[in-house]
Amino acid sequence: MTTVKAVRGTRDLLPPETALWNRIEATARAVFARYNFGEIRTPVFEDTALFARGVGEETDIVSKEMYTWEDRARAQSEKTQSLTLRPENTAGVVRAYIEHKLGETGQLQKLFYIGPQFRRERPQKGRYRQFSQIGAEVIGPTSSGSESPLRDAEVLEMLATLLDELGITGWTLHINSVGSAADRARYNEVLREALVPVAPRMCVDCQRRAVTNPLRVLDCKVPEDQPIIEALPKIADSLDEDSKQHFAGVIAALDAAGVPYTRNHRLVRGLDYYTRTTFEFTHGGLGAQNALLGGGRYDGLSEAIGGPKAPGIGFAMGEDRLVLTLQAQEAARPEPRHAYIAPLGEALNPAALALARELRRGGLTVELGDGNFRLKKSFEAAEKTARRIVILGEDELASGILTVKEFATGIQTKVPRSDLPAVLAAPVSA
């Protein structure tokens, strides 16, 4: 019989890697709490119309990558409904904001989420069909200050802090403004015209985009097209006065806070809801899929899905990519256990469990061996996982003096049982 395997583009996460996932999530939760964000959990599937209207019918995500199905009617009176596994979480958060009338509180809503997203993309390193995002959204009625450039800068400053606290070094923040919906429409036309004479010299994808969606030409990675793209008009020149001022406000606050960034005129992003500020944090260690995270402002999204005016800004980090980056930096090596307890003979197993319980309840991480193992095997197992081995034989049990060996130095000592927690918690002497 053929074996059943995990579906292409999906993965099992196993220890010790899952410890790294948990550490990343714990750090993110701690940082979000300091910035006064609360957690939101929205359903993993939604009405397909949410993404069509929110993310945009013409985007790659909606037109090619969604997992969509017709949900069967269970009764004659029920209609079938088109449902979709969420490809991203912003549309769901804004739907929940509208559904629960969070705008009526008059307060700025600061919400974060951690969870799986689904896109039917071609899998490669850092790109999966089920992946996890850690994201946050700041949204509210205009009176709550949701439109202020200070909110954009604060989100970016929080991200710089979060990446630093995760231990991710060498990131670059790319920032741009795509202006209002009207600015964007104007720029689209400017680009369309500018592309007419040059498009025939570009790649086939660009020739198509030049007609269907000129903005997407800016994402092209084909080396031969780059000089042509660099010479195209920039979106900054199509922004109206309000958008320019807003962007200047974001930049001034970033400068004051000392958050480093580079301006990237080509950063237009692949989702239709963006207005004004857009950004990405990239990392050189990731290869082709180099975006650690992306985000931006979406002042018209709530209205696009039938809600009240509710400007907002947010981001989503690719958790899988954070993991890859930390693994490559070797900052991810799992902490070795404090101790491995090796009972000498099966008869000492119960006493060893009692000792392990005592130490674990004292906060130490302890691996418990088995008296059925030969001592050599216990030593080999211990050295792989723990800093020290504690040997528990009949004599040790009777006298209350245990033998402890520290692997890094090879030093073996006799330790009274009452001193054991302190000795095991101490850093290795070398």
Instruction: Using the minimum distance from each CB to ligand HAM, give the nearer residue, 97 or 298.
Output: 298
Instruction: Using the minimum distance from each CB to ligand HAM, give the nearer residue, 53 or 405.
Output: 53
- Chain positions contacting ligand HAM, by CB under 6 A: 88-90, 119, 121, 126-128, 131, 133, 135, 137, 271, 291-296, 298, 314-316, 318, 320-321
Instruction: Using the minimum distance from each CB to ligand HAM, give the nearer residue, 297 or 387.
Output: 297
C-beta separation of 195 from 354 below 8 A = no
Place of tokens 């996982």: 385
C-beta separation of 239 from 177 below 8 A = yes
Residue 165 beta carbon to ligand HAM: minimum distance, rounded to whole angstroms: 18
DSSP E strands in 123-255: the ranges are: 130-139, 171-177
Instruction: Using the minimum distance from each CB to ligand HAM, give the nearer residue, 88 or 367.
Output: 88
Instruction: Using the minimum distance from each CB to ligand HAM, give the nearer residue, 137 or 183.
Output: 137
Burial of 25 (C-beta count, 10 Å sphere; 0-12/13-18/19+): middle
In angstroms and rounded to an integer, the radius of gyration of the C-alpha atoms of the chain is 28
Residue 314 beta carbon to ligand HAM: minimum distance, rounded to whole angstroms: 3
C-beta separation of 390 from 403 below 8 A = yes
Burial of 166 (C-beta count, 10 Å sphere; 0-12/13-18/19+): buried
Residue 280 beta carbon to ligand HAM: minimum distance, rounded to whole angstroms: 6
Residue nearest to ligand HAM (CB): 318
Instruction: Using the minimum distance from each CB to ligand HAM, give the nearer residue, 89 or 109.
Output: 89
Residue 155 beta carbon to ligand HAM: minimum distance, rounded to whole angstroms: 9
- Name the residue among 345, 339, 381, 382 with its Cα closest to residue 362: 339
C-beta separation of 346 from 372 below 8 A = yes
Place of tokens 């990343």: 24
Residue 271 beta carbon to ligand HAM: minimum distance, rounded to whole angstroms: 6
Residue 357 beta carbon to ligand HAM: minimum distance, rounded to whole angstroms: 41
Total Cβ atoms within 10 A of residue 147: 22
Instruction: Using the minimum distance from each CB to ligand HAM, give the nearer residue, 165 or 380.
Output: 165
C-beta separation of 345 from 393 below 8 A = yes
Residue 279 beta carbon to ligand HAM: minimum distance, rounded to whole angstroms: 9
- Name the residue among 366, 242, 214, 260 with its Cα closest to residue 311: 242
